[in-house]
Structures are given as C-alpha cells and as structure tokens.
Amino acid sequence: MADRSFLDWPFLDDGHRAWARELADWVERGLPALPTPDEHDLDAVYAACGALVRALGKAGLLRACVPAAYGGLREQVDVRSLALGRETLARAGALADFAFAMQGLGSVPVSLFGNEAQKAALLPGVCRGELIAAFALSEPDAGSDVAAMQATARRDGDGWVLDGTKTWISNAGGLADRYVIFARSEGLDRGPGNRDPKGISAFLVDAGTPGLDASERIPVISPHPLGVLKMSGCRIGADRLVGQPGQGFAIAMGTLDLFRTTVGAAALGFARRALDEATARARNRQMFGQRLADFQLTQVQLGRMCTEIDAAALMVYRSAWTRDVLQRRVTREASMAKMYATEAAQQVIDAAVQLHGGLGVVSGQPVERLYRDVRALRIYEGATEVLQLVVGAQHLREAAA
C-alpha cells in the first residue's frame, strides 16, 4: 500500500498497527491466490464469496468480527480493527471487503445482545469462516424507515412464527447459514399507525428452517451476494429470540452505530486505490510533449483528492476511537463519518476516471470497477440524505439542551 502514514495517528495503538500489517501481508500473499469470478455469473460470484469467507477465517482475519471469548481479536468487537480490515480489503477488492464485513454485520447483534448459548452456537463458526452470517432488517417498504416494518412474529406455543418479506439482504440467495431477522412481535404496543419501534424483536434463524425461502437473488451494479427472504409460517423455538421481546429496534440501531463507521472505512479503501491508480496514470501518460502530471490542472485535481481522503479518514477513525475508547454512542459521529467518506470517495473515484480519459470507462479497468463498487455505499446502512437528517436533528436536540 502506498500511504500508511495514518497508522501513526493517535486514534490507533500498537495492536492496531500489528493488525494492519497482518492484513496487508495477507492481501499481498493470500488474496491473489483466490480466483476472480466472472461478474456476469452470479453462481461464480456466490462461490467466490464463500471461498473468501473460508480463506479469511483460515487466515485468522475474521477475529475482528467477534469478541475474544469466541476466538476474537479483542475483548469486545473493536470498531477500529473492523475499520482497518475493511479499508485494507476494500483497497484490494470489493468482494473481499464484502465477505469480511458481512461476517461482522450478521453476527454483531448476537455479540452485543445474544445469550451465552446463542453466542457459543454462532460466533466461533463465524470467526473460523465455517458459518456465514446475515443481517435481515430491510423490507420492500421499510428501508431507512425501519418503523414501517411489516414482517410479523407471533407467539405459537413455546416458540414463534415469522411471516413477511425482507429484501436487499446481503448473503441471501443461498450463501448465509444463519440470519438475524427483525419482525414485529405480536402483543406488543404498536402505537399509532402500527409504527412503534418498541414492537420490533430480533430472531436468530437457520437458513434451512421450514417456511423460510432465501433462494431469490438480486443482480446489482457491482456484483455481490444480495437477495430476498420470504417467510411463510416459519416456526422457530423460543430460544431463537435475541435479547428481549421489543428490543429489536435497539439491537438494529446498536449494530448500525457500530458498523456505519466501517462503511466509511470501506469507502476510504476504494478512494485510496483510486488515488493510487490516478497518480500512476498521471505520472506515465504522455500528452502534448509532457506528462499528464506536469499540468497544473492535474496537480490541483490530485490535491483535492488527497485532501478529501485525509478528511474522510480523520472522521472515520475519530468515530471508531470514540466508540472503542470513550464507550459512547456514536450515532452522530458514525453518521457524519459514513456520509462524508462515501460522498468523498465517489468524488475521488470520479476524478480518477476523468484523469484516465477514455481508458477510465473501459470495462475491467480498476477505476471503472471502483466507479461501480462505490455507488452502493452512499445508500446502504443509511443513505446520505437520511444521515444528514440524523445529524441535523441531533444537533438541534443538543442545542435545545
């Protein structure tokens, strides 16, 4: 990697620097040995993602996704370690970042809120890459508006029965072994318009459970495993409830508070790779008797790209440090970091494509892939516009206080 100076920032400790070296070494040695799938072949993409999870687990790199008691890197899931993992892997390849991140997102609800039996059944397998996890929150009419959720969970004897549809679910479509599924619990106060977030609960559901259909896949602009869950009379035991009835909204928001920062870190990885590619192109491309890098307009563009990347990195690692060290909720900091880093990465990558000229839009070129890879990051785990509302509303509450 070209620029690793940010590792000297006071947000990180010596353990994080050793972790960053471990990640970088594996990317250099292990990642090239894995096959690169044909992006137009979803079966190949799914197979490659599964292989990446197993390889990451074998290399010990999924330790960042679980607490130390279950084979993890640190006593508790550490946002800075996750951010370093996502930034490093995203710089190398979007699918590697995806495989790493979804193991964390799909298991962190259990790490934070699950009981001992649930943790023991899921987390060691996630850490070893033997179990693939998934986080099932979004619905066709309930994405950013979680309170609009319509999937239901009704009590049935000593268990629960789930009904409804989930969509945009990463690792659905035949990859995930376990899902954390959010649904409205029967008998809890739902408030006016059936929108009370206190009516939502979380459940840990095996992929093969009768009544759960996870076969439908969604092709997207930058191929990765994404699909639909359909639940029809899906019966699960009482022991599959994560946390307490009605705690699902808090579980979802607590998970997103932790993981939203790491989306910004993935965007950073994409942006750093784009800057590397643009810099190499500018230094080597001859135009009008000189290098592209010799033009002042090129230098101005590169200067803007460098500044955006450093500003985004500062916000990402400040948010992670605040969560890890100060043990504070970081709804505001994580929202700002995710919003700024993803928007900045989009601009940096767009500039890299422009500096490549016609080559930048040729299929398969690194900057062309990055252009497709980064776009979804501005939407999932909080679209930019929603995060602006979150930050603005919290600012007003603090001002009123």
Active site residue 381: yes
CB 103 within 8 A of CB 53: yes
Q: Cα(first)–Cα(last) distance of the chain, in Å?
A: 45
Q: Which of 22, 139, 368, 381 is catalytic?
A: 381
150: Cα separation from own chain's centroid: 24
> Which residues are identified as catalytic?
381
